[in-house]
């Protein structure tokens, strides 16, 4: 049996050496064959040279070098594409996903589980805002979709080869990986852990990226936002009809002429704002439809390092697409 660790990287030159020196003894202790598949997502620092330079010391290290930055979800998909293990474990390079869990995850996999989630015991180390927004997002996803996404669970998990093959069969370009992993199904269990501080470097996620991540999840797995705006439109139409009836009644019955400029301006601005928001929601879905119909590659590979047939020493293969690359291995 073989274990593949998939590690997306973006400007992680400081974290890579610490990661390899920490995770390698843990993998050695399992007694199983293993590989560590780094995916460089268009780093602007020396991440690529650091990984390739350490390949002599860590011969199990592999590198998929993407042609540019495609985002973490695409980079993770690239790692799944090139990983050759019977079980695949995606991990963050900052060691906030503790490698010490790997033997326990492997044991549960060998006992029959197809997916072993690594679940945080608490989020006390996060800020109040991050805890609140994360909790609200996952509760919302549970309410509006048919997919059960484990709470307090990131990308860190062990997945059987059959699960990864199922994940790669999902064709969408806008990939919300937590949702796709959950949608794949299969028998699952979990292990719990306390999340440590980042070992090196700094996080690449900010509020805006997390906001777009949430939008990808909601629009990728639910049409409720479109339905909500249908309800809002109906309620506004009903309110407008009732208000118009009230104005006409006042004029005909009591002869009261309602000054109209301020009222009319307020109503027009309100309805205009509601319409623009509704168009924005519709535009999110249309934009995703356009992206899907273009059928552009999810990622492009500039080079592969360490994927030679004997697994001895780094080799570099220049390829244009991941599909062509995968056919050679």
Q: Rounded to whole angstroms, how far apart are CA atoms 301 and 81?
A: 11
Q: Say yes or no: 33 and 104 in one domain.
A: yes
Number of residues that make up the chain: 329
Pair 279, 269: CB distance under 8 Å: no
Q: Say yes or no: 218 and 235 in one domain.
A: no
- 267-274 long-range contacts (CB < 8 A, ≥24 apart) are 267/240, 271/236, 274/232, 274/233, 274/236
Q: Say yes or no: 124 and 156 in one domain.
A: yes
Q: Say yes or no: 283 and 314 in one domain.
A: no
Q: What backbone torsions phi and psi does residue 181 show, to the nearest 5 degrees?
A: -60, -40
Q: Rounded to whole angstroms, how far apart are CA atoms 27 and 31?
A: 7
SS3 295: coil
Show the CA angle centred on residue 174, arms to residues 301 and 202, nearest 5°: 70
CA 219 from centroid of its chain's CA atoms: 13
Q: Say yes or no: 102 and 233 in one domain.
A: no
Return the residue matching tokens 């993407």.
Answer: 66
**pTM of the full predicted structure?**
0.68
3-state secondary structure 20-62: HHHHHHHHHHCCCEEEEEEEECCCCCCHHHHHHHCCCCCCCEE
Range of the domain at 269: 224-294
Q: Say yes or no: 31 and 10 in one domain.
A: yes
Q: Which residues of the chain have pLDDT under 70?
A: 122-146, 196-224, 244, 251-252, 254-267, 269, 291-292, 294, 308-329
In percent, the amount of the chain with pLDDT more than 70 equals: 68
Q: Rounded to whole angstroms, how far apart are CA atoms 215 and 175?
A: 11
What pLDDT, on a 0 to 100 scale, did the predictor assign at position 87? 92
Specify the CATH number for the domain of residue 307.
Answer: 3.90.550.10
Q: Rounded to whole angstroms, how far apart are CA atoms 29 and 20?
A: 14
Q: Say yes or no: 78 and 144 in one domain.
A: yes
Q: Say yes or no: 133 and 233 in one domain.
A: no
SS3 289: helix
Q: Say yes or no: 228 and 218 in one domain.
A: no
Nearest to 191 by CA among 135, 153, 155, 149: 153
Q: Say yes or no: 155 and 63 in one domain.
A: yes
Q: Say yes or no: 170 and 209 in one domain.
A: yes
What pLDDT, on a 0 to 100 scale, did the predictor assign at position 222? 67
Q: Rounded to whole angstroms, how far apart are CA atoms 57 and 203?
A: 27
Q: Say yes or no: 142 and 50 in one domain.
A: yes
Q: How many domains does the chain have?
A: 2
Q: Rounded to whole angstroms, how far apart are CA atoms 84 and 35?
A: 8
What pLDDT, on a 0 to 100 scale, did the predictor assign at position 8? 92
């Amino acid at each position: 049996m073989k274990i593949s660790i998939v590690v997306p990287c973006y400007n992680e030159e400081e974290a890579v050496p610490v990661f390899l020196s920490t995770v390698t003894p843990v993998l050695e202790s399992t007694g199983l064959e293993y590989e560590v598949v780094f995916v460089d997502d268009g780093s602007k620092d020396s991440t690529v040279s650091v990984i390739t330079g350490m390949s002599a010391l860590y011969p199990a290290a592999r590198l998929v070098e993407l042609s540019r930055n495609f985002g973490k979800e695409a980079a993770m998909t690239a790692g799944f594409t090139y990983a050759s293990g019977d079980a695949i474990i995606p991990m963050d390079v900052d060691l906030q996903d503790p490698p010490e869990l790997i033997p326990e995850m492997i044991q549960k996999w060998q006992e029959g589980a197809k997916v072993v989630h690594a679940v945080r015991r608490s989020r006390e180390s996060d800020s109040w805002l991050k805890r609140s927004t994360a909790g609200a997002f996952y509760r919302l996803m549970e309410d509006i979709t048919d997919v059960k996404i484990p709470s307090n669970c990131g990308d860190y998990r062990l997945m059987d080869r059959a699960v990864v093959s199922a994940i790669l069969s999902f064709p969408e370009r806008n990939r919300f990986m937590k949702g796709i992993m959950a949608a794949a199904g299969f028998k699952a269990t979990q292990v719990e852990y306390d999340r440590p501080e980042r070992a090196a470097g700094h996080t690449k996620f900010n509020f805006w990226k997390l906001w777009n991540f949430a939008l990808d999840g909601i629009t990728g797995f639910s049409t409720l936002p479109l339905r909500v705006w249908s309800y809002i439109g109906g309620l506004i139409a009903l309110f407008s009809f009732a208000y118009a009836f009230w104005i006409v009644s006042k004029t005909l019955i009591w002869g009261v002429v309602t000054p109209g400029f301020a009222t009319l301006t307020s109503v027009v601005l309100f309805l205009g704002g509601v319409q623009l928001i509704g168009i924005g929601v519709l535009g999110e879905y249309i934009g995703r439809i356009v992206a899907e119909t273009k059928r552009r590659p999810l990622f492009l590979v500039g080079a592969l390092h360490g994927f030679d047939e004997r697994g001895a020493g780094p080799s570099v293969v220049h390829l244009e697409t991941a599909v062509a690359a995968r056919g050679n291995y």
